[in-house]
A and B are shown apart, each in its own frame.
Chain A
Amino acid sequence: MNPAVEATQPAEPQLGTPARLEPNAASGKILVLGLGNDILTDDAIGLEVVREVARRVEGDARVDVRETMEMGLALLDFIVGYETLILVDSIQTGRAAPGHVHDLTQEHLGAQPGRTPHFLGVKDTLLLGARLGLAMPDRVRILAIEVEDPFTLGSEMTSAMRYALPLAVEQVLALVASATARPCFLAQDSRIA
């Protein structure tokens, strides 16, 4: 069995005294959280994915599905108290074709916090929550979908997104299934690399 994607510990604090981490609320629950903006063309993808996921997991008490258009600190309110977090969001790396689903863990999220001109990134939020002694998810997985145009106002996504939508939904559902099936969280899928 692959060493699982380890429950992420907050980075060793550089300054000051470490916070005493309160034990996580033993909810054992999974949160699927979609981030996006449904009037910014491709930025709606995160929301569209989780809406479909919500339809498919309806009735499953172990999974909560939420969506939000907020950013930064607002995310804290959503994720406190869950043991597993699956985030679905858009990303623009320019290094993959639009529609590609990047499968990321916290370690992948931008090596350098603090470089935020306007909003707190996902990684910083998680770090902050841990630092403040809030019950943060042990296991975090981020599905970031490469987008083509998140800057133009519009309520229709580009075609690359519509193609990516069902694939991303399946990936999320697979992650949910793994997380509910066994306590040890999913191993990273083996890749050709």
Chain B
Amino acid sequence: MEQAVKETFNQGNLRANAAYQMGRRRFTVDPITRLEGHGKIDIYLDDKGDVERAYMQVPELRGFEVFSLGRPAEDMPQITSRICGVCPTAHHMAATKCLDDLYKVEPTSPGRKIRELVYNAFMLEDHALHVFVLGGPDFIVGPEAPPAERNIVGVIGKVGIEAGKKVISTRRRVRELIAYFGGKVVHPVLGLPGGVSKALNPADLSKFKELAKDAVEFSEWTLTVLKQIVLGNPDYVKMITSDAFTHKTCYMGMVDENNKVNFYDGKLRVVDCNGKEVCKFAPSQYRDFVAEHVEPWSYMKFTFLKQRGWKGFTEGPDTSIYSVAPLARLNASDGMATPKAQAAYEEFYKILGGKPVHHTLANHLARVIEMIQAAETMEKLLNDPEITNPEVRRVPTNVPKEGIGVVEAPRGTLFHHYQTDERGCITMANMIVATQNNAARIAMSVEKAAKGLIKGGKVTEGLLNKVEMAFRAYDPCLGCATHSLPGHLPLLARIYDSKKQLVQELKQG
């Protein structure tokens, strides 16, 4: 084709596409904007060019409530597990417990133990993934290292190929365990109201015991590595304890009857920034203790402690903002439930100067301590003679009405709440995901990062990097089930002056 013709064609094509896009694109209206696949940060400067407010929005899942209407409640474990591509098992388990409550049926003891086994296996795997692949690389390779190295490949370069192979193979073996109980199907059916779908055949016991033993070893090794690399490096310690990544909020986590950390079941305990217990409640009472607040600049509903009332994005002993996830769980408890994890817990607080720890980046270390507990719990359950008992289900007989199910997902407390008609079809379904519990604190972190890095109208190099690091320390769930490439969250920051004029736009990813 002739050059001129080619050019005309291309230009015409571009115009047509642009016109099409204009027609399709929903116009963004300040301050509420419609996200399209990336995280958006709006930063408003005051007259001096310093940051007045910063807001962050992320893409989120829409239409869950509507989608669930009329569906059999028994489908919810499968449906909700498809919402999160990374922690499906957490949703599955929360939904299953919700069904228990809906039908007012107690799972059998073996059934419960199998659930706990699977759930702890999942926590172990997910935490390992995070440490080595997602959040960990920032530390293991170093936050100043070029982005191209801050990934699992860089990690392997630092800790060796054997580590990488171990992560992969541990993951595979854990998946096999979950598939064993849920079936090798696209949507595993594991949890049923009143128990689980499959018992553990004694013939298969030994290979899972092997896995548990290896898992304990692997978690302890991970902690050693992380401690060496992170705590042994004064620059990292400085960053972890820096003010930019520190917030004095309340902390929420699930605990057993001895106030020790439990991922699967228990009561929810909240402590304030001085470690004093604020409240402790059963999951079914969550509505009396947790409320949602809406801000005009975000679709996200921010949770806060209802009894204290919404006090804004504040810190300190009176704040009603709380956070969840590994660090919060450790802070909200009186200890870990297993011995090796408990030893690590004590050392953790000793090194970081007492309890509670307010440094968000300490989440990475808390995560590994939880890995150790997950592995030890697996070992304990697999050595329990009841684990091979075939009585894994109690069939429900009551008429369903309303149920609430809560678990500790890797990223924090996860609530499922359903109401049904008498046939068990959903009339109301609500979810509070882990990240929602952290949303207020994340907003504060983003604002703090922005305030620290924009002074007098000048944006410091690496602003988006730092914001992203703060953000990533929470390991947030962001409408995360979509596969849409490129498989990460691009960030777009817009900076407005005191007259709300756009002065700068920064893109990352």
Contacts and interface: CB of A to CB of B under 8 A. Distances in A.
B477 interface: yes
B6 interface: yes
A27 interface: no
A181 interface: no
Nearest to B39: A117
B443 to A, nearest CB: 16
Contacts of B149: 14-15, 114
Contacts of B487: 71-72, 110, 116, 119-124
A9 interface: no
B508 A115 contact: yes
A132 B148 contact: no
B484 A116 contact: no
A128 B153 contact: yes
Contacts of A96: 17
A192 B20 CA distance: 20
Contacts of B37: 92, 94, 150
A144 B310 CA distance: 44
Contact of B485 (A19, A91, A133): A91
Given A37-B483, A43-B484, A152-B63, 17 more contacts: A37-B85, A37-B482, A40-B481, A90-B482, A91-B485, A94-B21, A94-B37, A97-B24, A116-B134, A116-B487, A117-B468, A117-B478, A122-B485, A124-B133, A127-B153, A151-B482, A152-B61
A71 B85 contact: yes
B148 A113 contact: yes
9 contacts: A69-B82, A94-B21, A94-B36, A113-B148, A116-B134, A119-B86, A120-B133, A120-B134, A153-B66
Interface stretch (B158-166, B216-224, B270-278, B284-292): B158-166
A115 B488 contact: yes
A118 B475 contact: yes
Contacts of B82: 37-39, 69
B489 interface: yes
Contacts of B146: 14
A154 interface: yes
Q: Find the residue from A19, A115, A144 having the highest chain B CB count within 10 A.
A: A115
A192 B9 contact: yes
Interface in B177-204: 186
A98 B25 CA distance: 11
A117 B508 contact: no
Q: Find the residue from B63, B137, B488 having the highest chain A CB count within 10 A.
A: B488
Interface in A109-149: 109-110, 112-124, 127-128, 131-133, 142, 144, 147-148
Given A39-B82, A98-B24, A90 B150 contact: no
B479 A151 contact: yes
B509 A112 contact: yes
Interface string A13-47: 11110010000000000000001111110010010
Contacts of A40: 61, 481-482
Q: Find the residue from B85, B165, B171, B484 having the highest chain A CB count within 10 A.
A: B484
B156 A121 contact: no
Contact of A72 (B24, B36, B62, B133): B133
A16 B64 contact: no
A50 to B, nearest CB: 13
